[in-house]
Amino acid sequence: MKITFIGGGVMGEAMLSAILEKGLSPSQSISVSDIDEARCRHLEHKYGVAVMNNHRLAADKSDVVVLAIKPQNLTNVMAELSGQIKPPQLVLSIIAGIKISSLCLGLNHNCVVRAMPNTPAQIGEGISVWTAAADVTEQQKEWAGSILGTMGKEIYVDDEKYIDMATAVSGSGPAYIFLFVESLIDAAVDIGLPRDMAKELVLQTVLGSEHFIQKSGRPLAELRRMVTSPGGTTAEALLQLEKGKFSELLMQAVSAAYNKAKRLGS
């Protein structure tokens, strides 16, 4: 499979690295086009892929063209590529908020997949939600699924509306987790723990809790009750979170991210 990346940013590099690590395509079959010459040199040196700053030339003979650019750069890229991508080629977009209809119109090309990966893809532990335009063939869907699968789990959905929802949950979600972990470490330091010890305690607690959720198979509410003895320390802590409307704030945060994702695509 010949793959071209339009844009060599962090997520594009994560996908590129995963493809090579999993052996999906060799470096000789991958090219990157980016206007940032420093990024091009970095990717060429680190991964041995062909690099250039001509999007049209880079995409010419690829099976899959990955759009890994920022939304504000899309207009110029679409103007350069419009009408230049052949029907057998697949366009795989990981641009947040940009709808398939906009991509098809701007590129004058109907074989488009839209995906939302997340940050843990950089270590092969991500999850991507994706959907495809009506003209995308089964082979092209297999290409998309195999590429996204190199970065972790992938979920195909029939309705594009779920992509914006996934953006607010799994796409932005790592930042919510990072903030929670950061705040819990600060709280531990505030009561007197050394920061190094606080960090180790918190990180292992988060990691162990996630594994426990996966392996126990029990409902989350049941697991929470297991830890919460009536009148105990955990109950006292959860009471404070409830007073602060922790759950309500999280719902508001996810809703705000979802609405922002929808506005990006309007």
- The Cα diameter of the chain in Å comes to 68
Query: Domain limits at 213?
Result: 173-264
Per-residue burial over 249-264, b if 16 or more Cβ lie within 10 Å, else e, is eeeeebeebbeebbee
Q: What's the pLDDT tens digit per position in 78-91?
A: 999 998 999 899 99
User: Are 142 and 27 in the same domain?
Assistant: yes
Token pair in block for residue 90: 């697949």
Question: Other C-beta atoms within 10 Å of 6: how many?
Answer: 26
pTM: 0.88
User: Are 50 and 121 in the same domain?
Assistant: yes
Position 264 pLDDT exceeds 90: no
Sequence-distant (6+) residues with CB within 8 A of 124 are 18, 21, 150, 151, 152
> Angle CA(210)–CA(216)–CA(221) in degrees, nearest 5?
75
Q: Residue 33: which H helix or E strand, with range? A: strand 30-33
| CATH number of residue 136's parent domain | 3.40.50.720
What count of Cα atoms within 13 Å lies in the side-chain half-sphere of residue 266? 6
Scanning the structure block, which residue is given the tokens 């705000």?
256
Token pair in block for residue 253: 């945060």
The pLDDT of residue 53? 85
Nearest alpha-carbon partner for 148 in 126, 170, 173: 126
Band (266; pLDDT cuts 50, 70, 90): low
Please state the φ and ψ torsions of residue 38, each to the nearest 5 degrees.
-65, -40
CA distances from residue 179 to 54, 126, 164, 201, 237 in whole angstroms, order as listed: 39, 18, 22, 16, 18
How many Å separate Cα 100 from the centre of its chain? 17
Report the share of the chain in percent with pLDDT over 90: 82
Q: Has residue 168 been placed in a domain? A: no
User: Are 24 and 120 in the same domain?
Assistant: yes
The pLDDT of residue 72? 85
Q: Has residue 167 been placed in a domain? A: no
Band (237; pLDDT cuts 50, 70, 90): very high
Range in 68-72, 124-128, 215-219, 261-265 with the lowest mean pLDDT = 261-265
Average pLDDT of the segment spanning 174-200: 97
The total number of structural domains in the chain stands at 2
Position 170 pLDDT exceeds 80: yes
Position 172 pLDDT exceeds 80: yes
Q: What's the pLDDT tens digit per position in 9-23?
A: 888 999 999 999 999
Residue pair 115/128 in contact (Cβ under 8 Å)? The answer is yes
CA distances from residue 259 to 126, 131, 235, 248 in whole angstroms, order as listed: 23, 19, 34, 16
Position 71 pLDDT exceeds 90: no
Position 73 pLDDT exceeds 90: no
Per-residue burial over 120-156, b if 16 or more Cβ lie within 10 Å, else e, is bbbeeebbbbbbbbeebeeebbebbbbbbebbbebbb
User: Are 259 and 143 in the same domain?
Assistant: no
Residue 263 identity? R
Q: What's the pLDDT tens digit per position in 112-155?
A: 999 999 999 989 999 999 999 999 999 999 999 999 999 999 99
Q: Which of 161, 190, 220 is the last residue in one of the domains?
A: 161
Q: Which of 139, 161, 183 is the last residue in one of the domains?
A: 161
User: Are 16 and 132 in the same domain?
Assistant: yes
Band (50; pLDDT cuts 50, 70, 90): very high
Give SS3 for 87.
coil
Indicate the average pLDDT of the chain.
94
How many Å separate Cα 258 from the centre of its chain? 15
Q: Which of 161, 195, 210 is the last residue in one of the domains?
A: 161
